Structure 1
């Protein structure tokens, strides 16, 4: 276990030592463990924590009592004392007993990776839905660990690990916490119901929906802002976006689609968090097209892509139509850019280049629907003609007696939803679908 020193300029920030752990018997290699610890540094920075040192421990198995073993705990204790750290953050999820034992040995607040992520979400949740989801995730995480979070729940405490539900809720007994969890689930079920109604309304109007997904800090919000001239917060921090944001995007051919920015994924994303944010993540399931945004400048971009694939699979969205968007290619040497390829459709872009934004719009437009249908509509049915223009892309319009013959490229799913209103007007001479 080797400590690495950091500058300690901000005296007001919470001072923390970060600890990584690598189990030699697990498949993950030491490089992946080091990348995870580096990510923990970024998470701590996002949470407003000053990292004064970081350590790694590699051993044949986790110690049931302290994770890292008694000898390493003493080594860690010396570093904590020498640097005046008040908090120790572990890159692995800890049990309540491990937290209790480590607190007793180190006389410091003990936080694990899951709790740090939950704390960042608590800081960044702004909407009522986001706040409810964070509280549910925090309570679900803390319920089995109440006996092991003495310092975290102290009335004199503060900083990371204490935001969100508030100390009075966390210090009450399990019965009351379970009741609160039930209340939160009921409130979120109502949120889910409203969100579902909005999605169904968009489906009925034939709006094509595109979801931006990707690892946290891949540049999704920047792309949303540049493509739609939105004003979504975009900064170089993890989880800059927490609540989903949808904006209209006008494509080169004039058609408009809905583009939605979603919360970024991260490796070892807490299960409770995925469950709590399911209402938000359902936007991914309802999308007609997924844009998987990849930070191509990251040295562990392949790992990030695997994490996103795993979360999409957990959400049941792994079979959705998808375009891989390798973002930030302007930060790579030309030779390395050529290595960026993917199965299926993919693009190499920089959100800062206008021509690349147009390429993304064109790729979306090409996905709107590959089939065309010819309709013969009475000229007096202006409502139906307007509906066809709204639902799809009208490729050709010709007068035919007292009717209009319209050739329309329309998304198959949109056509299926509106088939009852349209099928009587399909021009039979074409054999229906053309």
Structure 2
């Protein structure tokens, strides 16, 4: 884009190639998603060009005839950039740029560009720069002119603002520097996580496909103010806030970066430390957009990425969001326990809090204890660190009778044994 502060949008032509293993509906969704990504990057799609092929053309991605058709479209529409729906090889990018005589980028560059806009924290910015440099490294030869233009439109934001040199050693050095800085940030994050573990706080992670409504839900549940907008990748940096449940129990809720199909491998690697927040969770809330016609494939994409992160041992429940604008063909397909809500409806949010609490109870151990009156601190802990269902004073024995649920890993679990009724 020319300038984030202006309303001027860059003109974009999209190009996609449908292979035999992709059905028409799936391909159509994929192109629509690419269009949404362009919108998020402040671009405007003026034309879409698609082709069905047995295999990707090794030199130009699409066939010779389609390249000629694309050249005519470029002359007609004069786009600022042509974006391809797959990752182009360095030679494909060079050949297409030469023939089209305009800027050519691929889906990966577009996603990296959006991440460069969205990153707010130091860690987020470093991770984006690392992913961009790793993507750029094999594409350096013959790109002198393109590199000198970095910082001037979609697919060019980020490290290019300092005018990257074509010297590989310079980039390798910068990659090493970033990795070192990220290592320090990771250690800092791990110290935070250790502190949370010591405090024995129940941790819940929100995961889901990008734009499923995670940030809206996060804000409504925790009264936070994280960025929410109807854009892909509105959230990039993980945020953690306290979540108070109906019983008064306080858990920690973390909002994470949205997933997307064909997420560039450089990005998965770069954001692994951010996604590691999910690994520390006691419960994962998988948010699914029930208004999206492709919701089922979105679910599968998230499950595949969670499998990559190796979090299969953590309990997962599904929250189908956007009930108010649900797709007519929507049918809950989750294998896990699920609930259908709208993040904008107060009653639904209350039901969701109840649903979370009931799910947590299944992971806890019940207790029934008699607490002496002088144990005021213990009573206070039962109210905030366990799910307390009943509390009343027994005048006959001068004790407080308490019933509730406690995490088996919490120190209170052992402490309560001596007061067991």
Please give the TM-score of this superposition, normalised by the length of structure 1. 0.88
Task: For residue 31 of structure 1, report the CA deviation from its aligned partner.
Answer: 2.1
In the TM superposition, what are the counterparts of 1:298-317 in structure 2 within 5 Å? 298-317=292-311
Matched, 1:17 2:5: no
Structure 1 counterpart of 2:414, from 423, 429, 434: 423
**Gaps spanning 5+ residues in structure 1: where?**
1-9
Question: Do residues 105 (structure 1) and 99 (structure 2) align?
Answer: yes
Is the counterpart of residue 94 in structure 1 residue 85 in structure 2?
no
Between the aligned partners of 2:318 and 2:398, the Cα distance in structure 1 is 47
- Deviation per CA, 1:187-242, whole angstroms, max 9, x where unpaired? 11111111122122122222111111111111111111222222121111111111
SS in 2 for 1:171: coil
| 1:289 and 1:320 in contact (8 A); partners too | yes
Alpha-carbon deviations, 1:327-358, whole Å to 9, x = none?
A: 1121137x745x22422210111112111111
Structure 1, 162-171 or 136-145: larger mean CA deviation = 162-171
- Measured after TM superposition, the shift of residue 143 of structure 1 is 0.9
Alpha-carbon deviation of 1:67? 0.9
Q: Is contact 1:99–1:149 with CA below 8 Å preserved after alignment? A: no
Q: 1:131 to 1:353 in 2, by over 3 A?
A: same
Q: What's 1:356 paired with?
A: 348
Counterpart among 286, 292, 316 of residue 286 in structure 2: 292
* Of 365, 376, 391, the match for 2:357: 365
What is the alpha-carbon distance in structure 1 between the residues aligned to residue 219 and residue 151 of structure 2? 39
Structure 2: how far apart are the matches of 1:225 and 1:167? 33
Question: Which of residues 160, 165, 171 is equivalent to 1:171?
Answer: 165
The 5 A counterparts of 1:405-424 are 406-412=402-408, 414-415=409-410, 418=411, 423=414
Q: Residue by residue, what CA displacement relative to the aligned partner does 1:160-187 show, whole Å, maximum 9, x if unpaired?
A: 1221112546324111211111111111
1:204 aligned to 2:198? Answer: yes
Moved more, 112-121 or 231-240: 231-240
| Mapped contact 1:99–1:148 kept (Cα < 8 A) | no
- Give 1:278's aligned residue: 272
In structure 1, distance between residues paired with 2:419 and 2:242 = 35
Asked whether the 8 Å contact 1:374–1:426 carries over to 2, the reply is no
- Aligned partner of 2:61 in structure 1 is 67
Contact 2:10–2:44, Cα closer than 8 Å, also in 1: yes
CA contact (8 A) 1:20 1:34 kept: no
Aligned to 1:125: 119
**CA contact under 8 A between 1:214 and 1:293: conserved in structure 2?**
yes
Q: What's 2:3 paired with?
A: none
State yes or no: 1:393 paired with 2:384: no
**What is the CA distance between 1:401 and its match in structure 2?**
7.0
Could you tell me how far apart the structure 2 residues matched to 1:11 and 1:195 are?
Answer: 38
What TM-score, normalized to structure 2?
Answer: 0.91
RMSD of aligned alpha carbons: 2.4
Question: Pick from 12, 29, 49: which aligns with 2:23?
Answer: 29
Q: 1:145 aligns with which of 110, 134, 139?
A: 139
Q: Residues 244 and 263 of structure 1 are in contact (CA less than 8 Å); yes or no, is this contact kept in structure 2? A: yes
Q: Secondary structure at the match of 2:360?
A: coil
Report which stretch shifted further, 355-364 or 376-385. 376-385
- Give the aligned partner of residue 189 of structure 2: 195
Residue-by-residue CA offset, 1:2-44 (whole Å, 9 max, x unaligned): xxxxxxxx994222110011122xx222321221111111101
Number of equivalences: 412
Contact preservation (8 Å) 1:169, 1:177: no
Structure 2 unmatched runs, 5+: 1-5
8 Å Cα contact 1:244/1:261 also seen in 2: yes
Q: How does 1:180-329 map to 2 (within 5 A)?
A: 180-329=174-323
From 142, 154, 160, the counterpart of 2:154: 160
- Residue aligned with 1:170, SS: coil
